[in-house]
Amino acid sequence: MTCILALETATDACSVALYRNGDILERFEPGARRQTERILPLVDELLADAGVTLAAVDALAFGHGPGAFTGVRVATSVAQGLAFARDLPVAGVSTLAACALAAFDRYPHRPRVLAAFDARMGELYLGAYQCGPDGVEPLLADGLFHPDAVPALDGDDWLLAGSGVVYREQIGARVRLAEVDADVAPRAGAVARLALPMVEQGRTVPAEQAQPVYLRDRVVN
């Protein structure tokens, strides 16, 4: 039996989730951008609702980015702090992959997902994934792109999900889009599901080695 506590704060939303024995309990607050003040209370509320303590958790998982710099830092630091407290292993999960899986949950007839976040400065974070009930397979590695330089992808059945939809016209000139949803956000429940095979296979790191993935050196939130 595996118990994973997952955190996701890399976008405007804030969410935490607990994976336990195949079930997921999640708390999700959309659009608040109050991650710094809300993440630990949400963790406490979640564990209390589940009737467990941090001592019962086997591993920590967090959305390691890319995303808003402040949000990515919040998830990283909180995951490190909680993991240090109990000497727990940590799994970092792509926030774009979590967004793709959340999009597939909403549109199960669209397994090919282009997850995209507005990175500001006229750029976007983007990754392409083949999604299924058991996880995602990267088809295009997460990257930072100018909207006019998004790699061309085969097929005409792509779902574009995330705040990067603001560049749908430029993306649509390179990739044939079947559906678009700007409201899909990465969720901690998806982070937990993606972390499960990493935890079970020992592909984790100690707390001090848990690192964010920014894809850009300049700070923009």
Highest CATH level, class, for 96-181: alpha beta
State the pLDDT at residue 134: 85
State the pLDDT at residue 218: 55
State the pLDDT at residue 197: 97
State the pLDDT at residue 36: 85
Q: How far apart are CA 75 and CA 39, in angstroms?
A: 8
Tell me which residue of 117, 121, 131, 122 sits closest to 162, measured CA to CA: 117
Domain ranges of the chain: 3-94+186-209, 96-181
On the question of pLDDT at 220 being above 70, the answer is no
Mean pLDDT score of the chain: 95
Determine the average pLDDT of the residues in 91-101.
98
Give yes or no on whether 3-94+186-209 and 96-181 have one common fold: yes
Report CA-CA distances (Å) from 91 to 127, 145, 166, 187: 19, 26, 31, 15
Give the Cβ contact number of residue 84 at 10 Å: 15
23-70 tens-digit pLDDT: 999 999 987 667 888 999 999 999 999 999 999 999 999 999 999 999
135-190 tens-digit pLDDT: 999 999 999 999 999 999 999 999 999 999 999 999 999 999 999 999 999 999 99
- Copy the structure tokens of residue 220: 């923009």
Q: Which positions ≥6 away from 25 have C-beta within 8 Å?
A: 17, 18, 46, 49, 50
Determine the average pLDDT of the residues in 123-138.
96
The one-letter amino acid at 140: L
DSSP-based three-state secondary structure for 203:
coil
Please state the CATH superfamily assignment of the domain spanning residues 3-94+186-209 in this structure: ATPase, nucleotide binding domain (3.30.420.40)
| Better-scored residue on pLDDT, 150 or 217 | 150
Q: Which positions ≥6 away from 108 have C-beta within 8 Å?
A: none
State the pLDDT at residue 125: 98
State the pLDDT at residue 32: 62
pTM of structure: 0.95
| Better-scored residue on pLDDT, 36 or 123 | 123
- Copy the structure tokens of residue 215: 């894809």
Which position has the token pair 């406490």?
Answer: 44
The H-assigned helical ranges of 59-204 are 69-86, 95-106, 168-172, 188-200
Determine the average pLDDT of the residues in 120-139.
96
State the pLDDT at residue 35: 85
- Copy the structure tokens of residue 88: 């727990």
On the question of pLDDT at 20 being above 70, the answer is yes
